[in-house]
A = this chain, B = another copy of it.
C-alpha cells in the first residue's frame, strides 16, 4: 500500500518497448536524432501550435531552467506557499537564475489567485534599483495538494501577469492529471489561457524519466539551449528520453492513464472520507488526496503497511496526510486502505 508519491511506481510497459525500438541503429546524439524531431512535431500537434520543446530528465531541471530563461537574477517569481519549486527543489531556481527570488504567497486550496499576487506586487517598486523586480508567476497544475486550476483561474492570473509584464510559468509535473480533470484541450489549459512556459511532466505519469520544457512562444527560448547544455541536461542519447515522450503522448495514453489515477484518488477519497474523524482538506481533483486523519488511525494504517507522507505535523490529535495514486496503484490497495480506515481492521 504505497501512497507516498506517484514517482515510486515503475513505468508503463509501452515505455520499455519504445526505448527498445529507439535503440535500433545509430542516431545522431544530443537531440539531433529523428525521434526527437518527431517529438517536437507531436507536441505541436497536441498543443495545436508552433512551439519549441526541450526534453530534460527531471522536473526540477525543467522548472529551474525554464524559469531561469524567463527572468534575470534581479527578478522575483511569485508562487504558492508549499509549491514544489519553493520547498522541494533545494533552491534550484535560485541557483540557475544566479539568485533570483521566489516569493511564496498564500491562497485557497493550494492555488495562487490574482488577489494575493496583486498584493505582493505592491512590495516592489518598478524600476527602483534597490528592489528586486517582479518577473514571473509560477503555478503548479495540478497543484501540490491535488487541486486543479480551472481555465478561468489560469486566465485570471495570466491577465494579471500580462498587465504587469510578468511571464507565466506552469509547473506541469502532473499536467496530465489536471487535463484529465478539466474538460478542455491541452491548448486551452495552457497557452490559450495565457501560459508562456510549461514544465511538461511525464515521469510521474509513467515514464522512466522524461520531462520537457515547452516554450509556447519560440521568441521566449532565448539562450535556453546553452543553459541546458551548461547544466549537463542535454542527454547524449537523447533519443531514449524522446522515445519516452513519444510513447507517453501516443494514442492519448497519457490522459487515459491520468484519468485512471484520478479515479483511484477519487475512490480513495470517497472511501476514506467516510471514516470516523477523517476530513478531506481540499477538493480531490487529480491524483492526490489531502486528508486529516486521527493520529491513531494514521498509526494503525502505517502499522498495517500503508505508506504515505505527513503533510503537516500533528495538531489537535489529527494529522494532515497526503495519499497519492498513480497509473499503477493496485485497486486492492485502495480498497484495503479504505477498509482499514473505515473499519479499523480488515
Question: Is A5 within 8 A of B24, CB to CB?
Answer: no
How far is A239 from B10 in the complex, measured between Cα atoms in Å? 9
Give chain B residues whose Cβ lies under 8 Å from the Cβ of A61. 231-233
A88 at the B interface (CB under 8 A):
yes
**C-alpha gap A11/B27 in the complex (Å):** 12
Q: Mark A112-133, 1 if CB is under 8 A from B, else 0.
A: 0000000000110000011111
Q: With a CB–CB cut-off of 8 A, which chain B residues contact A234?
A: 58, 60, 129
* Chain A interface main SS type: loop
Considering the chains assembled together, what is the distance between the CA atoms of A230 and B4 in angstroms? 22
Which residues of B lie under 8 Å from residue A328 when comparing CB positions? 26
A229 and B129 contacting across the interface, CB-CB below 8 Å? yes
Asked if A87 is at the interface (CB within 8 A of a chain B CB), the reply is yes
- Residues 50 to 76 of chain A near chain B (Cβ within 8 Å): 56-65, 72-74
Q: Are A2 and B26 in contact (CB under 8 A)?
A: yes
In the complex, chain B residues whose CB is within 8 Å of the CB of A203 = 236-237
Whether the pair A237, B23 counts as a contact (CB closer than 8 A) is no
> In the complex, which residues of chain B have a beta carbon less than 8 angstroms from the beta carbon of A25?
10
Known: A92-B232, A240-B11. A74 touches B223 (CB 8 A): yes
- Segment 1-57 of A: residues with Cβ below 8 Å from B: 2, 4-5, 7-11, 16, 19-20, 22-30, 56-57
Q: Do the beta carbons of B209 and A57 come within 8 Å of each other?
A: yes
In the complex, which residues of chain B have a beta carbon less than 8 angstroms from the beta carbon of A237? 7, 10-11, 203, 208-209
Of residues A11, A29, A236, which shows the largest number of chain B Cβ atoms within 10 Å of its Cβ? A236
Residues of B within 8 A of A30 (CB): 129-130
Flag whether A339 is at the interface (Cβ < 8 A): no
Q: In the complex, what's the smallest C-beta–C-beta distance from A1 to chain B, in angstroms?
A: 9
**Taking CB as reference atom, which chain B residue is nearest A23?**
B10
State the Cβ distance, A116 to closest chain B Cβ, in Å: 16
Decide if B226 touches A19 in the complex (CB within 8 Å). Answer: no
A91 interface residue (CB < 8 Å to B): yes
Given A11-B237, A99-B99: A132 and B91 interface contact (C-beta under 8 Å) = yes
Q: Is A98 close to B, CB under 8 A?
A: yes
A240 adjacent to B209 (CB under 8 Å): yes
A235 within 8 A of B: yes
Bound CA span A74–B234, Å: 15
Residue of chain B at shortest CB distance from A15:
B23
Given contacts A60-B234, A73-B230, A133-B226, 11 further A-B contacts (CB under 8 A): A10-B237, A19-B19, A23-B208, A58-B233, A58-B235, A61-B231, A87-B130, A89-B230, A129-B228, A203-B236, A209-B236
A–B Cβ pairs within 8 angstroms, 30 of them:
A7-B237, A8-B28, A10-B24, A10-B237, A11-B23, A26-B328, A57-B57, A57-B209, A57-B235, A59-B236, A61-B231, A63-B232, A73-B227, A73-B230, A74-B226, A89-B130, A89-B230, A90-B129, A90-B131, A90-B226, A90-B229, A91-B99, A92-B232, A94-B99, A95-B230, A95-B231, A98-B98, A129-B234, A203-B236, A208-B240
